[in-house]
Structure formats: C-alpha cells, structure tokens
Amino acid sequence: MLKNYFKIAYRNLLKNKAYSLINILGLGVGMACCVLIFMFVQDELSYDSYHENGDRIYRVIHGSVPNDNATEGAEPSPFWVWGNAPVGPALKLDFPEIEKVVQFSGRGDLLLGEGDNLQQEEGVLFMDSTAFDVFSWKLLEGDPKTALAAPYSVVLTKSTALKYFGEEPALGQAIKASAVAGRSEDGDLTVTGVMEDLPSNSHFKFNLLISLNTFRQTRAEVFDSWGYVDTYTYLLVNEQFDQEAFQAKVPDFIERRNPETDSDYNYTIKLEPLSDVYLRSEAQRQPGETGSLTNIYVFSIIGLFILLIAIINFMNLSTARSMERAKEVGIRKSIGADRGSLIFQFLGESLIIVMISAIVGGFLIMLALPWMNDLTGKVFEINQLINWNTIPAFIGIIILIGILAGSYPALVLSGFRPVMILKGINKSNARGVNLRKGLVIFQFSLSIALIAGTIIVYNQMGHLLEKDMGFDKEQMVILDFNYDYRVTLVSEALKSELEANPAISSVAFSRSVPGSHFPNAYTTLEMSDGEMVGQAQPIFQVGLDFIDHFGLELVAGRAYSREFPSDSTSALVINEAAARQYGYSNPEDIIGKKFDQWGRAGQVIGVVKDFNYISLHREVEPLTLPFEAFASRYVSVKIAQENLPETLASMENVWKELVPHRPFIYSFLDEDFNQQYQSDLRFRQIFTTFSILAILIACLGLLGLATYTAEQRTKEIGIRKVLGANVGNIVGLLSKDFIKLILIAILVSTPVSWYAMNQWLESFAYQVPIHWWIFLVAGLISIVIALFTISFQSVKAALMNPVKSLKSE
C-alpha cells in the first residue's frame, strides 16, 4: 500500500509539473531563507557562550543617583561599563562569594614593530593577569598563570603573531612599541604568550593584551582613585552567588569603601550577567560591539513570515486543485477506502513534496552561504548547520511543515462524499474558495507590511546619513598619530606646511573628533547665585583653530584666539546642552562665569550651537571644548574635492619629512562617523533582501493561483470573447478579484506594520515620521507586483482562440 501511495504521489507530481515546480521551489526558497535567518539569529544569541564559566561571570557597571542635597527633579545618570579601578579589589575583599576579579583598560592603538614592519595596531588592551582564570581564552604558547603578570609583557593572538613573526616561534621574542603606557620613549614588549584568535561571537575585540602592571608602572595613582574613570571590571563568582542579595549590600559597601563623594549625587554600581552583555545591556561606554534584541525579533518574525507565505502557497494550490482529484477520492471511497487512509495518503504526498523542497533548500543554502557571509559580516559554515545534533531537529521540522502544509488539503479531499462527487456536485467548493481568499489576504498583509517596513528603514537610514550634524565633515581628512608627543612638538610646522598647499583650506589638532572616543570630565562652574556646582560631561580637548575649522556656530561669546594668550590656560568653550545642564537657558548668561576643570580654572568665553558629535541614536549631550595644545591625537585637514589623489600624495610627503618615524595613517571623517551606523546599515541590507524574497515567494503562489483560475474559467473566457469582450475586459475579469483581496490586505497590515516600525524607531533619538502615504505606496507597490505577476497568464488566456476554449471540456 505504501508503495502504491508513493507511485500515486509521483504520478501527480509529473502530471502537474508547473504546480509541482511552484510548490517545490516556493517551499525550498522559503525554508532556505528561514534557515539562513535562523543561523544569523542563533549566532547573535550565542555571543560569549564559549566561556566555560559564563553563567558565573558578571561585570560591574557604574552610575550615580541623586541624594538628599540634589536639585529637585534631578535624575539618575546613565550607567557606564567604563569606571574606576579601586572598586574591583574592594569587591574582592568584601564579598567572599567573588572568586576572581579581572580588570582591563582600553588605552587606544599602539605603534608596533620597526623598519618596514611598522604598523599601528588596533585592539590593544591592558589586561589583568587573572584574565585566563576567568575567560576561556586558550593559550597556544606560554603559561596562563604568568603570561600577563610582569610589566611590559604581551600576549598576542595567533593572527597578530603571524603578522610580526611569521612562522617563527613568537614566545620570548621582543617587539618594539612606541611610547608604551605613557612612557615618553619607545620600549620593548616581551611576548609571554600566544592565544587563539577570539571567536567571532565574542563581545571582546582585541589583537593583543599587554599586562595591566605595565600601565601601573607610570600611572599608579589611577588604581587608587575612585573618581578616575579608565577601567573595566569583570567578576567570577561562586555557585552560591545571589545577585539580588549582592545588590542589597551595595549601598553599605559604597559608603564604607568610597572616600570620594559628590554633594548632589551618590556613586553606585550594579552587576550585569555576561549573558546580557551583547544584547541586553543599556550601559554606555561598551568595551566592544553590542547587538540589538529588537533586530533579533524583527529578523525572527521575517523568517517566520517567509515560511508562512511558502506554506500558504502550498495550501492554496492544493485546495484550489482539490476538485481535480475529487473523482479519484469518490471512486476510492466507493470501493471501500476509509477517510483515515486517504488522509494518510495525502499527508504522505505533502511530506514527499516538503522533503524534495528541503533538498532544494539545502542546495540553495550552500550556494547562498558566501553571500550571507558578505551580507552579515559573519562567517557561517555548512558544518554549523548540518551535524548529528541538528539532523533530528531538521527531520522534525520537515515533518511538522509537511503536516501543517498538507493537513487542510488532506482533510478537505478526504471529506468529499462519493455519491455527490460522482454526480459532479461538490458543496464544499465555496468553503475552499473562502479559505483561499483568506490565505491570500494574510499572505499579502505580510508582504505589504514588509514593503512598508523597508520604506521606513530606508527613510530612517537616509535621515541618519544625510542629516546636518552641525559641523563640517565633508572632505575632511583625519590623520591619526595616536598621541605621539613628537608629532605635537612639530605641530605648528606641520600645520604651516600643510596649509601652504592651495588645496588645503585649514588644519586643526584635537584629542577627539566627532564620532571618535572622548573622555568625560568633572567640571565645576559658577551658578547665577555665585555658587560653584559640579557636573560631569564629555570633553573634546581641542587646538586653537578647532571651532572655526569644523564650522561650529557660536551662539554666545567667542572662540579661542591667538589675540588672547590666556585662552590656553584659563578659558573654556562649551555647547548649549552644557549651558542648560548648569541652568542657563540663555547662553549669553553663562559667558564670564568661573569654571574649574582638570586643574584648569578661568572663565567661560563662548558657547557653540549643539552639534551631533555622537550618533543619532542619542540626543546631543553636554560637551566642553577646553583648549589643550598637548593632548592631541588627530590632525584634521580640510581639503578641496578636486585632485584628491595629488592632495593626499602631497600631504604624505609633508608627513614623511616632518614625522618620519610614524606611518601616514589617514581616513575620511564622514566615513569614520558613519561607522557608528554599521550595524544599522547591515540591518537595512538584511531586512530589504529577505523582504524582497518574501514578496517573490508570495508572487510565486499568486502566479499559481492565477494560472489555475484562468484554466477553470477557460470556457467562460471563450464565451465572453465570442460575445465581443476584448483583451482588456478579460484581463480585468481575471485580475479584479485578486485586487480586492490586496486592498483588504492593505487595511489589515497598516496598523500592525505601523506599530512594529514605531517600536523599531524608538532606538533612535532622531526619528523620521511614519507618514500615511508610506502604507499607500506599499499597497500600490503590492498591487503593481500582483498585476505584473498575473498579467502574463491573464493576457495569455485573453488571447486564446475562443474555438479552442469552447472545446476545452
């Protein structure tokens, strides 16, 4: 009997080649898309799961809350991952449930090597010696207990060791480093370990680790100051650790251990589990990349949509063609077949199609993996997908999809009454038509929601990339010399030589540029009643010409000037948000007020208009721009658009002449700034790509239904043509029913997609409005796509010879 079922299924597939192809291809593409999205989602959810003790690793995040002296309405500050160093050892002493503490400091890039092998290495961390006790990083060479113990010792990743030493053993070798940890002279680092490269699903990103004791050699005071922010702290706790009980003890701990207090705010800490770090952390100043849980939900929903659309195609075509097998069912029932055996047969046919689709989907996945890697910036391999752990799950999913897709058609077909069928009467046909209409509405509701979502995503990303940020970023070349004091010594000569080029309009030095890293400073400033009040805010230490160079608009006072020598020591420029932070709604009122910041004291001389120096995910925050000539990292060069290669070559020649010991490293500010939106741009690409695939799968099913409808109405079309109907009449006849369904789908999908995309936009401080016309456009696009899909079959039916049409039965 089973052999007979397979034979019948095989014959039906061959008999209806077009419909079989649509079903197999639609399901295959749908399953492939769903699996690819699953691989992406699974990778995002797996971040940091490779640590053996990951469930016992926490990190400290730092914040402050208003106390009894705070101004009315004062709010808690955002929590930071970046914080002070003393908190780590103090926690270890006071809480026996903490087994290990590991701390590190991100001290920027480092110039390594010498001669022709001189490179500015990114991803450099000063790391505690306990790192290998807490994190599951495998050392290929060296002793994990001592590798990061001694000053000026370094652990390289495998790829970094290959870069500098090739195939030679790196352990014990010396590598020259420029101005390590604040030393004014170059020095050697000793390679004490080589570790495996970090897995891609790690929120840590580094290429080498220098011992934290190296940093202690020159800045020992940092490790005793509760007010100095430069350290990340992670904890390994024991099995009995209770996070809620720990948090209840924090206030007493802070009061007992922290000698540095603020008159208005109390410093506090919280713990974040390692499992929350990548997707669920709301703390600022992350040491590595973070993901978006909202995006995970969006992609999961899209994957489910695609699979549902493919299953709906199968159900629609199966129920639509059920009448063709009605006589088969009637005859089999009349000779004794029971309903259960018929259901089993039709479900079996469904499973066969699903299995063939799964094989097609597997081939599509293998073909699509390189493209998926480029699209997501990740590395997916087929062995991640197919192994002994996943095979049972895939078999189960195939059976589930087969049952879901084939259950209704099987129930409909097996429920036909043999007497009625053999007489040519089928009362269940109307029910099948209504089901197909409902499924088409549901299918196109999903498609229209995806089209509207794509339009909104593109609008938002265009807004991010094109919004006036309040500063000049076009044609701005950034030269990175990484705080090298020898460059600072020749800064005036470098500026003069560069500005001598007619293609260069201005040059400025600064510690930070928009979009780059910046420190925070505690600044005391005079209030209107004469009281000095302290606040913390970001700080851009800038050169004399920075404000004019970047085109920042002054709303009060003046910029730094060579006409006022005291500007270098006792003047301060702030932005409007900083003025409001101190209670000055009118920027003019803060001019001349006293300030004290990082050992500099004087008066506020200017207020610049707020500009977006950070990404548009966040509002403009208070910012101070003190003039500091010897704290720079970057040279910003504004150049003309014409003859760009020649201008860059000229700049490099000047650099090599005045700064021969450093490589010429440059980038463009607009590209650097937009790197903050890399994950958003990737989201747009993935969202758009899979939305298009979902719509194509929906159109594939619509094509099958249109073909079947045209076939069912062949005789009607012939009669209408004989009575004078033209091609336009026939096309309209076959299209209007589908258009009605799509109009209903527009009404269904609009509120749902508006709500979903409004939730997505909440992650941006600066949002595009969701206009009503977006849903109208999405609906029109879906109508055009549907008309284009069914037009070929409609025109073909309309052009058919009516004589042949009337002979069709």
479-537 pLDDT, tens per residue? 999 888 889 899 999 999 999 999 999 999 999 999 998 988 889 999 988 888 888 88
Mean pLDDT of the chain: 86
Residue 422, classified by CB atoms within 10 Å of its CB into exposed (0-12), middle (13-18) or buried (19+), is middle
Burial class (CB in 10 A: 0-12, 13-18, 19+), 332: middle
- Give start and end residues of each alpha helix (H) in 480-585: 485-489, 491-499, 546-549, 567-570, 576-581
pLDDT at 225 over 80: yes
- pLDDT at position 456 over 90: yes
In angstroms, the CA 589 to CA 593 distance is 8
pLDDT surpasses 70 at 431:
no
Q: What residues have CB less than 8 Å from 596, skipping those under 6 apart?
A: 523, 524, 525, 532
**What phi, psi does 677 have (nearest 5°)?**
-105, 15
Does residue 134 have a pLDDT over 90?
A: yes
| pLDDT in the model for residue 320 | 65
- Cα 536 from Cα 148, distance rounded (Å): 34
Banded pLDDT at 2 (limits 50, 70, 90)? low
User: At residue 234, does pLDDT exceed 90?
Assistant: yes
Instruction: Please give the pLDDT value at position 88.
Output: 95
Please tell me the predicted confidence (pLDDT) of residue 119.
84
Cα 786 off chain centre by: 32
Q: If we measure between CA atoms, which residue out of 307, 297, 301, 300 comes closest to residue 404?
A: 307
Q: Are strands 187-195 and 153-157 parallel, antiparallel or unpaired?
A: parallel
Q: What is the pLDDT of residue 517?
A: 87
Question: 2-11, 291-300, 589-598, 755-764: which has the highest mean pLDDT?
Answer: 589-598
CA–chain centroid gap for 249, Å, is 36
pLDDT of residue 641: 87
Q: At 407, list the tokens.
A: 């259950």
Q: How confident is the model at residue 428 (pLDDT cuts 50, 70, 90)?
A: very low
3-state secondary structure of 172: coil
Cα–Cα distance for residue pair 59/48, rounded to 1 Å: 13
For residue 464, count other CB atoms closer than 10 A to its CB. 22
What is the arithmetic mean of pLDDT over 108-114?
A: 80
Name the band, by pLDDT with cuts 50, 70 and 90, for residue 354.
confident
Top-confidence residue, 194 or 392:
194
Of residues 328 and 355, more confidence is placed in 355
The predicted model gives 658-672 an average pLDDT of 91
Kindly tell me the burial class for residue 41, based on how many C-beta atoms sit within 10 Å of its own C-beta (0-12, 13-18, 19 or more): middle
pLDDT over 70, % of the chain: 88
The pLDDT score that the predictor gives to residue 182 is: 47
Which CA distances in Å does 130 have to 146, 378, 716? 9, 30, 82
- The lowest-confidence range among 303-317, 421-435, 497-511, 667-681 is 421-435
3-state DSSP assignment of residue 298? helix
Q: What is the pLDDT of residues 781-799, one digit of tens each?
A: 888 888 887 776 667 666 6
Residue range 181-194, pLDDT digits in tens: 445 566 789 999 99
How many Cα atoms occupy the beta-carbon half-sphere of 548 within 13 Å?
12
**Each residue of 158-184: pLDDT tens digit?**
999 998 898 899 999 999 887 654 455
**Tell me, what's the pLDDT at 425?**
52
Question: What is the pLDDT at residue 74?
Answer: 62
Q: Cα separations (Å) of 62 from 77, 108, 289, 783?
A: 9, 21, 19, 53
Residue whose token pair is 């952390």: 281
Is residue 733 pLDDT above 70, yes or no?
yes
Angle at 201 between CA 199 and CA 204, to 5 degrees: 80
Question: Has residue 712 got a pLDDT over 70?
Answer: no
pLDDT of 77 reads 78
Least confident segment among 292-296, 756-760, 805-809: 805-809
The pLDDT value given to residue 191: 95
Non-local (6+) Cβ contacts of 211 within 8 A are: 126, 127, 129, 148, 149, 150, 151, 152, 153, 154
pLDDT of 426 strictly over 60: no
Max Cα distance, the chain (Å) = 108
DSSP state letters, 383-437: HHHSSTTTHHHHHHHHHHHHHHHHHHHHHHHHT--HHHHHTT--TTHHHHHHHHH
- The pLDDT of 276-291, averaged and rounded, is 89
Residue type, 278: Y
Residue 650: pLDDT above 70? Answer: yes
Q: Is the pLDDT of residue 136 over 50?
A: yes
Cβ contacts of residue 343 below 8 Å, gap of 6+? 410, 411, 414
What integer pLDDT is reported at residue 73 of this predicted model?
Answer: 58
The whole-number pLDDT of residue 91 equals 96
- Read off the tokens for 477: 């070349």
Mean pLDDT of 38-51: 92
Q: Quick check: 405 pLDDT over 80?
A: no
Taking the C-alpha atoms of residue 551 and residue 470, their distance in angstroms, rounded to an integer, is: 8
Q: Residue 74: what residue type?
A: A
pLDDT at 579 over 80: yes
For the chain, give the percent of residues with pLDDT over 90.
43
In the predicted model, is pLDDT for residue 14 greater than 80? no
